[in-house]
Amino acid sequence: MTDYQKLFDLRGRRALLLGAGGIGREAGLALAAQGAEVVCADRDPDTAKATADAIAGEGGLAGAVELDITDAGGLERHLGEVGDLDVAVLTAAMNVRKRLLDYSPEEFDRVVGLNLRGTFNVLRAVGARMVARGSGSIIAFSSIRARTVEPGQGVYAATKAGLESLVRTAAVEFGEAGVRVNAVAPGVVETPLTAQIKADPDWYRAYATKGALGRWSLPSELAGAVVYLASDASSYVTGSTLSVDGGWTAVDGRFTPPA
């Protein structure tokens, strides 16, 4: 008989956090609060250490490592040092807000290199180890932009749509080994990545009123989705994208007509 009190219990499990700032920091704190040991990885070692320290300050178990997911060889080496993993959470991403005609090839390569190739590197490296063990959960962060776009978001949107395709494929290919792969798609979140929007009051309000809840989300509001997908509560969930967007993709435009 299922013990429902332990559905979200992560004690005895090790989680790798790839991208330890912003949403990643809150995800790490939430995973640790449920008992997981969290390895905080970021290409900025100070960010990784700050999140690990925050987890330790709450009584959790955490370590920090400098890691760049665009370096496939370095990723493989670090994973060998980290050891067995039960959960991997990928939040690392970047965006260059420009219309397509203004984009340079170098900017395209930077965004695609981190968001899409980095995802590919993580799925291969982490997936191979989890498949060999016969268990594990990989959670990659997508975006509402995988489905809804706007001027200046084309390349970012393309990488997130590609990420979701890679997630579905990995779920199919890793599933027989007992490894689950899913994505989380946030709406507008108050993080450094959205600083340009937050700085413009009109833009900020327009985004706040687009969703059904009428406001932006905080990074902490994404953490529950991560814990759910990491835990036994989602044991039959794979190949899915969980939208945590405040109803953004459910709303048809910004105009509310009279009833």
Catalytically active residues are: 156
CA distance 8 to 158: 33
Distances in whole angstroms, Cα of residue 211 to Cα of each of 148, 215, 245, 255: 13, 7, 7, 11
**Residue 5 identity (one-letter amino acid):** Q
Place of tokens 């900017």: 107
**Residue 131 identity (one-letter amino acid):** V
> Crossing angle for the helix pair 154-174 and 118-133, nearest 10 degrees?
10
Sign of CA pseudo-dihedral 137, 227, 186, 27:
negative
At residue 184, what are phi and psi to the nearest 5 degrees? -115, 130
Burial 169-198 (b: 16+ CB within 10 A, else e): ebbeebeeeebbbbbbbbbbbbbebbeeee
Sign of CA pseudo-dihedral 116, 17, 98, 189:
positive
Burial 120-134 (b: 16+ CB within 10 A, else e): ebbbebbbebbbeee
Closest to 47 in 3D by CA, of 33, 67, 69: 67
Rounded (5°) CA angle 225-228-229: 90
Looking at the DSSP assignment, which residues form a beta bridge with residue 3? none
